[in-house]
Amino acid sequence: MGKHKLILLMLVSVVTNVAWADTQLNLTKGVTAVSRDVYDLHMLVLYICTVIGILVFGIMFWSIIFHRKSKGAKPADFHESTKVEILWTAIPIVLLIAMAIPATKTLIAMEDNENSDVTIQITGSQWKWHYKYFDQDIEYYSVLSTPREQYQNQQQTSVVKDENYLLEVDKPLVIPTNKKVRFLITSDDVIHSWWVPAFAIKQDANPGFINEAWTRVDEPGTYRGQCAELCGKDHGFMPIVVEVKSPEDYDIWLTEQQQRIAQAANAEQASLSSSMSKEELMQLGETTYTAYCSACHQITGLGLPPAFPALKGSAIATGTIKDHIDIVINGKAGTGMQAYGKQLTLKEIAAVVTYERNAWGNNTGDLVQSADVKAVSGEQ
Amino acid sequence: MTTDTLNNTSTADIEVAVNQGDNSGNHDHKMTGIKRWLYTTNHKDIGTLYLWFAFIMLLTGGALAMVIRAELFQPGLQLVEPDFFNQLTTVHGLVMVFGAIMPAFTGFANWMLPMMLGAPDMALPRMNNWSFWILPFAFAILLGSFFMESGAPNFGWTFYAPLSTTYSNGSTAFFGFAVHIMGISSIMGAINIVVTIMNMRAPGMTYMKMPLFVWTFFITAYLLIVVMPVLAGVVTMILTDTYFGTSFFDAAGGGDPVMFQHIFWFFGHPEVYIMILPAFGIISTTIPAFSRKKLFGYSSMVYATSSIALLSFLVWAHHMFTTGMPLFGELFFMYCTMLIAVPTGVKIFNWVATMWRGSLSFETPMLFSIAFVILFTIGGFSGLMLAMTPVDFQYHDTYFVVAHFHYVLVTGSLFSLYAGAYFWLPKWTGHMYNDTLSKWHFWCSLISVNLLFFPMHFLGLAGMPRRIPDYALQFADFNKWVSIGGFAFGLSQLIFLAVVIKCIRGGEKALAKPWDGAVGLEWTVASPAPYHTFSAPPSQQDIDKQHEN
């Protein structure tokens, strides 16, 4: 009895768990025609399996209850029947065909990437997504925006986690409703996988190859997903956020982006002729370092050798300035060190190089300005 | 050594054995202490070594899993860093697949095949010794890498390139050599099984008179011989890509990272059946025994097992639906995968038909067998769901997949191993196991394993990716329960350890045939099985009697 009570207690506490009400149990229906077809297919197979399960397990439990030795059951001596064997081979085949037909239809629809209205190239890299709008000259990186304090709990910090903890980014992908949006998916380093459950899209990002996927979303809204292929240390920290806007709002957003790009270009130009103080450089450098470099080289500058070398006392961070700027701009082939030339502004690169050359006891005293960075990048 | 072994099969021995098929224990000639185990060529000793090794690895892999579950108990990073988390999941997978499940089945093969075939030993006893004794070294390398500067492999047990090559943490060499040694061990074990079954069957035991247990190991061994060299090939390519500048899987050098997955899964999918077909063999032995009724559809079982083995070579790319395969490829692999449900269904229907109108009793091996049939079928259902390409895009690389393969491998393979272990423990040790403790083991395992793996279905459907060290808040409730189930399941396995140790040390004396419904030549020898059995083959009547029962 004691054991049964315990089990009952556990079941009751599972059922009545306070936060249970908003726990999702089933696959999402999503917001596209394809995702709804996928959901229907999922339910179809689930129901067929449930019915088969009830039948088979029902027969088995009938046996368990009524054909017990302790009840005096005598074993029958039948042990084969070609008729029955043919029957239970044929019935599953019929059921499988019934499932394969809608599956084939949905799959053919999913793989029809033609006649798209908008094309966006998605590039995964460790551990962020890059979005590039074709014919718009708009491109940007999208990185996790959940603050580090929220997930680094080792130090017993009790920072409250946001509602969208680990599912929020600085700059989401923006697409219009009711337009066929085609995604060209690839990677800069290892294999990633771009997954948004509400669109029923999961497509691997393979380095050196381009995969296609498409969607046509009905309702404006914010839809979240995550990288779905193990891509190294921070695989769990590269979410995807897609904002779907009405075509009018989308056009407004496009215009805003164009303006921002123009402003950024002006600021870049302006930074070339100005020089920053050490305090300014170190401050911006630390912010930039924390956001872009510390995942691998760590806040302490000690890195995670051998994959991610230390910067404290390293040959590059204490060697010639030119080599240091060069590796930040161009990365190092065959390692996890990415090219940051496209990801950071001249000012940020100048600041982060200054920071790395003066933090953690790397007291080189060097100050690097935007113009120095431009000089190195201009050489290529 | 050589003369010793030869002398063992002296005419005196044979004369003794003619009547009963077993020897008296006086002619053992085994060494004492550690040398007995290091030098042994006896199939029973080697079987025991394999089984203990597998159990130690099960506890090791389980300990790694419990650290994983402790980290995932609540959102946030509390115990381990993400990189170490990846090392844990990688080594957990490798240890469980290559260290626990596969060697455990090889242990069963060693102990049982000669006795079921009426053979005195495995056909290649010295190779048998070697194939076991290289295994501890393989796992010493793998587990030792935890203590190296680079850390253990962190790219998943599937070691997808280029994460395992260009972007590896430096552990690729340890990983590669460890897997090579495991592969060599498996190939030798498989060759031994095939040669034994083909050449050492007692006269009069035709193929279709072999127990189904033997059939499943026979087919599995062929699968191993075909696919383990493929694994060795892909591991070698990974090693040369990492250390010798080749570009098999690097697009920049004309290679293709997706080709890695094709080669890996051409090994990987048959590998899945390598871990489940022997389970079918064990269950096809225990269910008839405790139903006191002959296995329903013996020949259809043989054909179904062969069909599953053949189909296993045509479905590998269902692990890769999201890699960007052409539509035709996706359709082909979807249809072939769905087709596997047919022979698998036949097996399940046959087991249920065996139980139907039998005379059932529920000793611990039967409890594990019934749990196997139900829970493995649940794993089969989710497998069918995963086969549907459009829906697989949603399930792929989520906890739904984790739930699926743990239902198949834990409540499938592992539960069948427990069913088999309880079934043959009396034969191995000469004692009956402690019934009460064994029932505790069963019920604790059954409840905790479902608390552990069932909610993973919901987590996956709700969108939780696998292999992440931290998760969004909506997954918190289920993860807590899953972790509790994980700790409970892990600890429950210590009950089994207690049962086995008690059973070896003593307990009620076991009869030569402790189960009234059991058939098979192994029950015609004494319990515990003498060191040498069937030095002379069993009689035709004995063989036919086992088959006709």
A193 to chain B, any CB pair closer than 8 A? The answer is yes
SS3 A280: helix
Per-residue model confidence (pLDDT) at position A12: 52
Per-residue model confidence (pLDDT) at position A265: 87
The DSSP letter of residue A175 is E
pLDDT bracket for residue B472 (50, 70, 90): very high
Looking at CA atoms only, how far is residue A374 from chain B in angstroms?
Answer: 28
Q: Which chain A residue's Cα is nearest to B455? A: A25
Q: Which residues of A touch B357 (CB under 8 A)?
A: 63, 67, 73, 75-76, 78
Return the residue matching tokens 């490798």: B94
A20 to chain B, any CB pair closer than 8 A? The answer is yes
Contact call for A74 and B370, based on CB within 8 A: no
pLDDT tens string, chain A, 380 residues long: the values are 445 555 555 555 554 444 444 568 899 999 999 999 999 999 999 999 999 999 999 999 999 999 999 998 888 888 888 999 999 999 999 999 999 999 999 999 999 999 999 999 999 999 999 999 998 889 999 999 998 888 887 666 667 888 899 999 999 999 999 999 999 999 999 999 999 999 999 999 999 999 999 999 999 999 999 999 999 999 999 999 999 999 999 999 999 999 999 998 888 888 888 888 888 899 999 989 988 888 889 888 998 887 788 998 888 988 889 999 999 998 887 788 888 988 888 889 999 999 999 989 888 888 899 888 888 887 65
CB interface of A with B, residues 269-298, below 8 Å: none
Nearest-angstrom CA–CA distance, B95 and B65: 11
Q: Is B389 left (phi over 0), alpha (psi -120 to 50) or beta?
A: alpha
- For residue A266, count CB atoms less than 10 angstroms from its CB and return exposed for 0-12, middle for 13-18, buried for 19 or more: exposed
Q: Determine the angle formed by the axes of helices B172-199 and B135-144, rounding to 10 degrees.
A: 160
B347, B404, B427, B431: which is the annotated catalytic residue? B347
* CB-CB contact of B119 with B192 (8 Å): no
Largest alpha-carbon pair distance within chain B? 74
Q: Is B186 marked active-site? A: yes
Other CB atoms within a 10 A radius of the CB of residue B35 amount to 10
Looking at CA atoms only, how far is residue B122 from chain A in angstroms?
Answer: 31
- Residue B402 in this model has a pLDDT that exceeds 80: yes
**B288: part of which helix (H) or strand (E)?**
helix B277-291
Backbone φ and ψ of B86, nearest 5°: -65, -35
Domain A118-265, architecture per CATH: Sandwich (2.60)
- pLDDT mean over B430-439: 97
Looking at CA atoms only, how far is residue A337 from chain B in angstroms?
Answer: 10
* CB-CB contact of A63 with B352 (8 Å): yes
Is it true that domain B31-107+122-275 has CATH number 3.30.200.20? no
What is the tens place of the pLDDT at every residue in B284-304? 999 999 999 999 999 999 999
Contact call for B458 and A24, based on CB within 8 A: yes
Domain ranges for chain B: 31-107+122-275
Contact call for B370 and A64, based on CB within 8 A: yes
**Nearest C-alpha neighbor of B513 from the set B261, B188, B202, B289:** B289
Please write down the HEC assignment for all residues of B88-129. Answer: HHHHHHHHHHHHHHHHHHHHHHHHHHHHHHCCCCCCCHHHHH
Contact call for B396 and A228, based on CB within 8 A: yes
Length of chain A: 380
Q: Is B284 marked active-site? A: yes
Mean pLDDT of chain B: 92
Domain ranges for chain A: 27-63+82-112, 118-265, 274-379
A233 to chain B, any CB pair closer than 8 A? The answer is yes
Q: Which chain B residue's Cα is nearest to A239? A: B472
Looking at CA atoms only, how far is residue B361 from chain A in angstroms?
Answer: 6
Pairing of strands A181-187, A118-125: parallel
- For the domain made up of A274-379, the CATH class stated in words is mainly alpha
Q: What's CA B545's distance to the chain center, in Å?
A: 30
* CB-CB contact of B283 with B291 (8 Å): no
What is the tens place of the pLDDT at every residue in B292-343? 999 999 999 999 999 999 999 999 999 999 999 999 999 999 999 999 999 9
